[in-house]
Structure 1
C-alpha cells in the first residue's frame, strides 16, 4: 500500500492561492546539473510578495518522493528516476528509448489532488521547448482536477513557440518575463483581481524556500545577457540585461546556508559582467562570514574576463566547478568576437595560477552547428585536452528567437519551425544524417582521449 502523500503547504499572504508546477522532463536522456525552474520561482516570489499565497510541486525534486530516487552524485548533481514511455510520433525514427524523468505520473496526480484548499490559479513552466509534452500533460491533469481554475503556461515553449503552444496548450500563455508590465497586469485581470504594485527586484528574487531540505540551491544575480550570440535566445526570453542588489543576494545565500545547503550554482548568463555591481560584494560577504560553501558555474563563464584578480577572488570565495565557453578553436572564423586565442590562453593560465585543479575545469565545445566542419570540433577537443582540461561537447539546440535559427532551419532535414520536438539536441538536428550510435561512441572515446 502506498504511503499517504505529504501535505503541500501554502505560504504567503491572504490573497489568491497560486500553485506553481515544474513538469517532468520527456526526452531520450536527462541528468540533473543543479536544475531549478528559475523563471517559475521568480514568478511565485513576485506574486507572493504582492500578497498571494503560493505552493510548489516540482516533478524533478525528490523532496516528497515515495519512490526510489537515485543516490545524489557529486555536489548534489545526479540522475533522475525515469519511466520509459512511448516515443512521440514525430521522433519515432530514433533508435533510442524515450522516457519521462522525475516523479511517477500517478504520484504527481495524487499530489495535486491532495492540495487543500484548492488553488485559485496554476502556473506551469517549460524549461526546454521540446520538453513541452510534460507541460501539456500537467495542464491536462490540472484541467481535470479543477476545470474552472485559470491555468497559465510560461517558459521557453510558451515564449518561443507561441503559435504551436496556442494550438496545443489548454492554458493562457505567458510569453516573456512575468514582470513585464503587460504580463503582470494580464495575469491579475485573468484571475479577476486588481493589479497590485510590482514588487522591487521582481524577476531577480526567488522563492527558494519552497524546497524542503534541498541538496543544493542557486544564485541569480542577473537576468538576460548583454551579448547576442548567434546560437542563443537569451535576448528573446529576457530582452533587457538587469542586475540585482548584492544585499538581497547575500541574504538569500545566508538563508539557504542556514537551512543546510552547501552547494550553490550560479544561474547567470553573464556572471562576470560588472562584477562590482553585485558579485564581488556578495562573495566578499560570504568570505568574511566564513561560510564553508561550494560554488558552481554550470553556465559557461566568459573566458576573456578571467583576469588574475578575478580568478583569485573566485577561488577564495569557494568556486569548485568551473565551466568555460570556448565553443571553437577556429579563432579566425568564430561566430562572435567574444574571444581571441591570446585571451583564451591567458584565461586558462590565470585559472591554474589561482590554484584551480585541472579536475575542476570543464570546457564547452559547440557540436552540431549548421554547416559545421566536424574536423574543427576534433581539433578543439585535442586543443583542450592538451591544456589538461576536460572537454565537453555542447550539442547545438536550434532555438526559435536566436539569430542562427533561420540558418538551422535551412540546414536541418527536420521541420524545426513547425514542431518543437525536432529542436531536441539529442537527435543532432543539424548534423547530416542526424544522430548515429557509432558516431556517438566515437565522440565519447575522443573526449576521453582514447
Structure 2
C-alpha cells in the first residue's frame, strides 16, 4: 500500500449491504513546541480496529502523518523521529500572556479539509481523538470541520480530554457523544452504536489491544501495545483514571502485528505500554525471543519510561538481545526517601543502571527522566538528580510536570498553581511550568538546558 496522490482517504473493511462507516481523525497539535517520538494515536487505532472487526467500514485521517504523496514534511530524524510541519497561529486568549510563538503542527489545514471533503461515501460517524487535555483546541477544530462537511454524521469525541475534563468538553465541543475512558467499556460501546441507530454487535476478542496500523499507507515506524493500564498508582499519573484495569495481551497478536508491519518495511517499533516490565513472561519475553530469532534488523524503542526496579541482569540481556535500541528510564528524583512513584531504592537504581551497562547498551542510548516542576518541589534536588545521572554516563531528560485531572497529585497542583488549572485545561500545559513559582522563564530554561548538557550556564 503506497501513499495515494493527495487528497484521498480510502475506506477499509465493512460487512453487510450497508455497513456503518466510521472515520477516525487524529487532530493537529496546537502548542508552543512539538516533536515526534514515534507518535501514533493508539487509542483511536484500537477503536477503529474493534469497529472494523465488528463489521464497520473505517477510515483514518491522521493530521500528524504525511498521508499523501507530495506533502512537504521535515526530513525524518534518527530512527523515524523528527519534526512536524508547523503553521504559526494566534495563541489562545488564555495563553496570550506568555508572549511566545504558538503553532499548529501537522498537515496543512486546508489540505486536510480537501481530503475529508472528497471522502466517498461520506461517514456515518466521525471519531475524534484527543491525546493531551491542553491540545483540545485542535480536537474542537476537527469536530467543527466535520460538522460543516457532514452535518448529519454522528460526531464523537474520545480520549484524554473528554475523559478527564468532561464538563469542559461538554460545554465547548460540537460533539453528539463524549466517550469517557476506553470504547470497549460496555456502556461506551452500546452508546456509540445506539447513536448510529444500530444494535451493538458483540465486542471482538483482544478488545482494545489490536491496532488498525494498516490504515497508514507507508509507515516509517509502528507502535507496539502489549498491555493497557498500569498496576501502579503514582501520584502524578492519571493512568488509573483512564484505564482502571491492567490488561495484558497474549504474545501471538502482538507478534503478528509486528510481522505484518515489518513486511511493509517498518524497522522501528516503539512500546506504548505504561508498565512494560510487569509480568513480562506473559507476552514480552515470547515476543522478544521471536524478534531476536527472525527479525534481527528491527529496532525497539521505549519512549515511555521503564521501571528501573525491574531491570534485573536477565531482563537487560533479554532486552538487548531482542533489539532494544532507545532506552528510557523513570528515575523521578535521587531523593529516595521522598518519592511520588513506585518506591525505588538507591540500591535498586544503581543495580538497574549497572545491569544495563553490563548487557552492552550504549550509554548514549540510555536516557533518564527526572521530574521537573512538581508542586512545592525543591529544584535544587532536581539539579542534584541531573548531576547524578550524568555521573553514570547517562543522558538526563527533564520530564516537565503536567497537572492531570484525575491524578492523586492534582489537588496539590491546583493549590500550588497561580492559574485556574481545574477550570481551564490550557493552563495544564507543562510548557508554561504551571506549578513553578514565577512560571516559565527563558533564562531559567537556558540554564536548565546547559545543566542537562553538562555545559556552563549562559553568562556564567
Normalised TM-score (structure 1): 0.98
1:126 lines up with 2:127 in the alignment: no
Summarize deviations over 1:243-262 as a string: whole Å, max 9, x none.
00100111000000000000
Work out which of the residue numbers 179, 183, 188 in structure 2 matches 1:178.
183
What displacement does 1:373 show?
Answer: 0.3
Change (3 A) 1:385 1:412: same
1:7-406 aligned within 5 A: 7-14=8-15, 15-64=19-68, 66-171=70-175, 172-406=177-411
Summarize deviations over 1:266-324 as a string: whole Å, max 9, x none.
00000000000000011111122244100000000000000000000000010000000
Give the conservation status (yes or no) of the 8 Å contact 2:5–2:70.
no
1:99 alignment partner, SS class = strand
What displacement does 1:136 show?
Answer: 0.3
What displacement does 1:337 show?
Answer: 4.0
Structure 1 vs Structure 2 CA RMSD: 1.0
2:24 alignment partner, SS class = strand
Change (3 A) 1:65 1:169: farther
What displacement does 1:13 show?
Answer: 1.8
Give the conservation status (yes or no) of the 8 Å contact 2:232–2:342.
no
Aligned residue pairs: how many?
A: 448
2:458 corresponds to which residue? Answer: none
Q: Quote the Cα distance in structure 1 between the aligned partners of 2:323 and 2:5.
A: 41
What displacement does 1:338 show?
Answer: 2.5
Summarize deviations over 1:85-131 as a string: whole Å, max 9, x none.
00100111112100000011101111110100100100000000000
Q: Quote the Cα distance in structure 1 between the aligned partners of 2:209 and 2:341.
A: 28
> Which structure 1 residue ranges, 4+ long, deviate > 3 Å from structure 2?
none
Give the conservation status (yes or no) of the 8 Å contact 1:365–1:391.
yes
Give the conservation status (yes or no) of the 8 Å contact 1:208–1:217.
yes
2:254 alignment partner, SS class = helix
Higher mean Cα deviation, 354-363 or 327-336? 327-336
Give the conservation status (yes or no) of the 8 Å contact 1:63–1:214.
no
Q: Quote the Cα distance in structure 1 between the aligned partners of 2:155 and 2:340.
A: 40
2:376 alignment partner, SS class = coil
1:418-433 aligned within 5 A: 418-433=423-438
Q: Quote the Cα distance in structure 1 between the aligned partners of 2:10 and 2:262.
A: 22
Normalised TM-score (structure 2): 0.96
2:262 alignment partner, SS class = helix
